[in-house]
């Protein structure tokens, strides 16, 4: 007795019927999957692989259905045979898709194929009465007509030889006739485009002279081309400048030669974009290196004062700056560089020191002339009467400057003018800083750079004569100042 009969005896006929109905439903679902697979095959035109996947899914569904039927213990062998036959019927279905794939690949364009307007470098294979054949490394050579070659100047025409290389302009590609038309003449006309592309690829700096400007930037000629520097690529224009400031600064650049870098080359759109900002830092560094390499300590250079500071002056020597420290302005002491220089003034300087590691250059003004002590005896002798200004007063005497860089000592015992006076008076009670006196040189020691002065050794006659002369000079100075002041006043009123 089979299991179905046992189930009936146990009083569960309804459950058995339900199992049979469920099995039948699964069989119907399996047949529906097969029909769906057949439908998929009918609509498949290119790829047959999804149909095979559907068959595998259908076979899995069949296996699941078989397992369910075995559990229900129902005779389903006819259904299993039908499923196997259906699967067998599906196997011969095949779809040939290779021709479609070949057609798609043939339709795809080559990204690196040369196009009209390209400038290429090739090797001259042959030259004849009809023109030249040039190998471009493609599947076929290109042809340059004799008419094109006749447009070249004699020197360029003579330079074209078989086996040599030349640049050519791609005029046309006729795929049907398998023919490439080239032009050497047009390539020559486009040499500047090639040069611009080379500068761009090599990131080289090019010096260009500004021809004009518009509201968007500067116009810079590049041979027979017109380059453009946008405002955003200018170093000298602040980002927050107003329109008036922008116009003023753009106008100031006309006629100037600027370091530039090529950042965009588009021959088809005839766009050549240059950048001052991208080139300036590197150019400045190169100029600084070149400037430092060209400097030699001890040589004289001409520069222009760029800036004044309390500690000295910066001088532009063309390509870089040098510093004149305040101690190198003169052999005598000065309080501020503005006493001797002004911004923009052209000045001759001596290179004092070049520190290439720290990129600093020390300059000097005073070393252009010999130290005053070296030529002192050419101007002064012992017993000579001189005029001097008191620079400092001490307990033992006073220091007096007889000329810039030359000071002598006026000892306390030489301060009095007569024998009745105190033989060694207090210097602070006799003279003050800034006063000018007539003195006599009593000794000169050039080796020790010392001069001894005396107020006592000056005679009364010498003193009176000097005082009269000094009064006349002071009166003349006052009169000159009054004339200058009056002229300025009249000018202001006018």
Per DSSP, the chain holds a count of helices (H) and strands (E) of 13, 21
Residues 256 and 304 occupy one common structural domain? no
In a domain, residue 102? The reply is no
Answer yes or no: do 65 and 83 share one domain.
Answer: yes
Same domain, 22 and 63: yes
Q: Confidence band (pLDDT; 50, 70, 90) for 13?
A: very low
The whole domain housing 278 covers 207-284
Tell me, yes or no, whether 449 and 408 share the same domain.
yes
Q: Examine the domain organization and report whether 32 and 67 are in the same domain.
A: yes
Q: Is the pLDDT of residue 93 over 90?
A: no
Cα–Cα distance measured from residue 489 to residue 492, given in angstroms and rounded to the nearest whole number: 5
Confidence (pLDDT) at 260: 95
Q: Is the pLDDT of residue 311 over 90?
A: yes
With contact defined as beta carbons under 8 Å apart, do 182 and 198 qualify? no
pLDDT of residue 39: 42
pLDDT at 486: 66
Q: How confident is the model at residue 416 (pLDDT cuts 50, 70, 90)?
A: confident
Cβ–Cβ < 8 Å for 362, 352:
yes
Pairing mode of beta strands 142-145, 179-183 = parallel
Report how far residue 91's alpha carbon sits from residue 289's, in angstroms, rounded to the nearest whole number.
81
Residue 125 and residue 69 share a domain = no
Task: Please identify, among 259, 284, 309, the residue that sits at the C-terminal boundary of a domain.
Answer: 284
- Rg of the chain in Å (alpha carbons): 52
Who's near 345: CB < 8 A, 6+ residues apart? 304, 305
Which range is most confident: 16-30, 52-66, 264-278? 264-278
* pLDDT greater at residue 413 or residue 45: 413
Query: Which tens digits make up the pLDDT trace of 164-222?
Result: 989 888 888 887 767 889 998 888 878 888 899 999 999 999 999 999 999 899 999 99
Burial of 478 (0-12, 13-18, 19+ CB in 10 A): exposed
* 124: in domain: yes
pLDDT of 319 reads: 78
Number of domains in the chain: 5
380 shares its domain with 437: yes
Task: Please state the pTM of the whole predicted model.
Answer: 0.49
Reply yes or no on whether the pLDDT at 453 is more than 80: yes
Q: Is residue 108 part of a domain?
A: no
235 and 181 belong to one structural domain = no
Of residues 455 and 93, more confidently modeled: 455
Inside any domain, residue 302: yes
Collapsed DSSP state (helix, strand, coil) of residue 10: coil
CATH number of 347's domain:
2.40.50.140
When pLDDT is averaged across residues 130-153 and rounded to a whole number, the result is 89
Q: Is 472 contained in some domain?
A: no
> Looking at the domain assignment, is residue 199 inside a domain?
no
For all residues of the chain together, what is the average pLDDT? 78
At 417, which helix (H) or strand (E)? none
Q: Which residue among 128, 157, 189 closes a domain? A: 189
Mean pLDDT within 101-117: 54
> Worst-scoring range by mean pLDDT, 161-170, 290-299, 479-488?
479-488
Give the CA count within 13 Å in the CB-facing half-sphere of 148.
23
pLDDT-derived band of residue 110, with 50, 70 and 90 as boundaries?
low
Q: What is the pLDDT of residues 337-394, one digit of tens each?
A: 999 999 999 999 999 999 988 889 999 999 998 889 988 999 999 999 999 999 999 9
- pLDDT given at position 359: 86
Q: How confident is the model at residue 139 (pLDDT cuts 50, 70, 90)?
A: confident
Q: Rounded to whole angstroms, how far apart are CA atoms 13 and 33?
A: 30
Whether residue 233 contacts residue 217, with contact meaning beta carbons closer than 8 Å, is answered with: yes
Instruction: Please state the rounded mean pLDDT for residues 116-122.
Output: 85
CB 113 within 8 A of CB 180: no
- Whether 23 has a pLDDT exceeding 60, the answer reads no
Examine the fold and report which residue of 265, 284, 303 is the final residue of a domain before the chain moves on. 284
Determine, yes or no, domain membership for 481. Answer: no
Based on the fold, state whether residues 422 and 344 are members of the same structural domain. no
CB atoms within 10 A of CB 307: 13
Given a cut of 60, is residue 69 above it in pLDDT?
Answer: no
Closest CA relative to residue 455, chosen from 380, 376, 391, 397: 397
User: 250 near 237, Cβ under 8 Å?
Assistant: yes
Beta carbons of 235 and 279 less than 8 angstroms apart: no
In the chain, the percentage of residues whose pLDDT exceeds 70 is 74
Q: Mean pLDDT over residues 35-63, rounded?
A: 43
| Confidence at residue 239, expressed as pLDDT on a 0 to 100 scale | 76
Extract the runs of DSSP E, i.e. beta strands, from 255-384: 257-266, 271-275, 300-309, 312-316, 321-325, 346-355, 360-364
Q: Which two tokens stand for residue 418?
A: 């007569």
Highest-confidence range of 3-17, 62-76, 100-114, 178-192, by mean pLDDT?
178-192
What pLDDT shows up at residue 494?
Answer: 57
* Contact partners, residue 275, CB within 8 Å, separation at least 6: 229, 230, 233, 260, 261, 263
Looking at per-residue pLDDT, the higher value among 115 and 30 belongs to 115
387 within 8 A of 462, measured Cβ to Cβ: no
Q: Are strands 179-183 and 165-174 parallel, antiparallel or unpaired?
A: antiparallel
Say whether both 388 and 343 belong to one domain. Answer: no
Burial of 358 (0-12, 13-18, 19+ CB in 10 A): exposed
Count the neighbouring beta carbons within 10 Å of the beta carbon of residue 233: 21
472: CB partners within 8 A, 6+ apart: none
Residue 493 lies in a domain: no
- pLDDT at position 18: 42
Specify whether 170 is located in the same domain as 225.
Answer: no
Residue 61 has pLDDT above 70, yes or no: no
pLDDT band at 40 (very low <50, low <70, confident <90, very high): very low
């Amino acid at each position: 007795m089979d299991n179905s009969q046992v189930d009936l005896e146990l009083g569960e006929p309804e459950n058995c019927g339900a199992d049979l109905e469920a099995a039948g439903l699964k069989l119907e679902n399996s047949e529906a999957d097969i029909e769906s697979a057949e439908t998929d095959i009918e609509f498949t035109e290119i790829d047959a692989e999804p149909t095979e996947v559907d068959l595998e899914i259908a076979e899995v569904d069949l296996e699941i259905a078989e397992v369910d039927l075995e559990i229900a213990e129902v005779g389903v062998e006819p259904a299993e045979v039908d499923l196997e036959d259906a699967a067998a019927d599906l196997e011969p279905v095949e779809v040939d898709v290779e021709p479609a794939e070949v057609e798609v690949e043939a339709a795809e364009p080559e990204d690196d194929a040369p196009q009209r307007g390209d400038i290429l470098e090739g090797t001259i294979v042959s030259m004849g009465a009809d023109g030249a054949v040039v190998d471009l490394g493609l599947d076929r050579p290109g042809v340059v007509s004799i008419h094109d070659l006749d447009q070249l100047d004699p020197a360029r025409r003579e330079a074209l030889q078989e086996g040599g290389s030349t640049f050519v302009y791609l005029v046309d590609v006729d795929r049907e006739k398998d023919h490439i038309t080239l032009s050497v003449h047009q390539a020559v006309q486009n040499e500047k485009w090639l040069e611009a592309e080379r500068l761009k690829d090599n990131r080289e700096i090019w010096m260009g002279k500004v021809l004009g400007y518009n509201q968007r930037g500067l116009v810079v000629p590049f041979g027979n081309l017109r380059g453009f520097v946008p405002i955003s690529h200018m170093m000298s224009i602040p980002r927050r400048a107003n329109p008036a400031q922008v116009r003023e600064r753009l106008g100031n650049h006309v006629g100037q030669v600027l370091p530039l870098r090529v950042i965009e080359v588009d021959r088809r759109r005839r766009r050549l974009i240059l950048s001052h900002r991208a080139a300036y830092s590197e150019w400045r560094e190169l100029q600084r290196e070149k400037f430092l390499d060209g400097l030699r300590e001890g040589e004289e250079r001409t520069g222009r004062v760029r800036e004044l500071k309390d500690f000295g002056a910066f001088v532009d020597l063309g390509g870089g700056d040098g510093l004149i420290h305040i101690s190198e302005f003169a052999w005598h002491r000065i309080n501020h560089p503005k006493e001797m220089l002004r911004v923009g003034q052209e000045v001759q300087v001596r290179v004092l020191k070049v520190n290439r590691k720290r990129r600093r250059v020390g300059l000097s003004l005073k070393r252009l002339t010999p130290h005053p002590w070296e030529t002192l005896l050419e101007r002064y002798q012992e017993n000579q009467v001189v005029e001097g200004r008191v620079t400092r007063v001490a307990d033992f005497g006073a220091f007096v400057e007889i000329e810039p860089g030359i000071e002598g000592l006026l000892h306390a015992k030489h301060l009095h003018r007569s024998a009745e006076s105190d033989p060694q008076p207090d210097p602070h009670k006799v003279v003050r800083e800034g006063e000018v006196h007539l003195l006599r040189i009593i000794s000169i020691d050039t080796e020790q750079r010392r001069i001894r002065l005396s107020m006592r050794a000056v005679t009364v006659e010498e003193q009176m004569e000097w005082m009269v002369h000094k009064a006349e000079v002071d009166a003349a100075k006052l009169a000159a100042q009054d004339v200058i002041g009056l002229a300025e006043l009249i000018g202001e009123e006018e």
